Amino acid sequence: MYQKDKINEIYRQIAHIGKQFGVEKIVLFGSRARGTNQEKSDIDLAVYGCEKFFDFQAEVEEKVWTLLRFDMVDMNRESISEELLDEINRDGVILYEKI
């Protein structure tokens, strides 16, 4: 099972890359945010205010060493479902927010 310090390092790396890309906010959601994840659960991320979302996504997947899968949502898209928005607002944990 992923140790807490290892997963926290992954979150720090994601936040660092987000800062480099000028991201406004990154929110962890899903089972990892709720604390109900399994060992191999993916890392669900809501990404706000990222002009180069696909470049950011590729950079995270390339630079953050983990066997876990990333599932990222570009929150600037207009087709985000109400259910997903509700889940992110209810369970989300902010990993990074531009000050």
CATH of the domain at 7: 3.30.460.10
The per-residue pLDDT for range 29-47, each reduced to its tens digit, is 999 999 999 988 999 999 9
79: phi then psi, degrees, rounded to nearest 5: -105, 35
pLDDT, residue 1, reads 47
pLDDT of residue 2 exceeding 80, the answer is: no
User: Do residues 92 and 25 lie in contact, with contact meaning Cβ atoms separated by under 8 Å?
Assistant: no
Q: With cut-offs at 50, 70 and 90, classify the pLDDT of residue 89.
A: very high
CA distance 70 to 82: 21
Strands in 43-48's sheet, in edge-to-edge order, are 70-74, 43-48, 25-29, 93-97
> Domain limits at 92?
1-97
Q: In the chain, how many domains are there?
A: 1
Q: With cut-offs at 50, 70 and 90, classify the pLDDT of residue 4.
A: confident
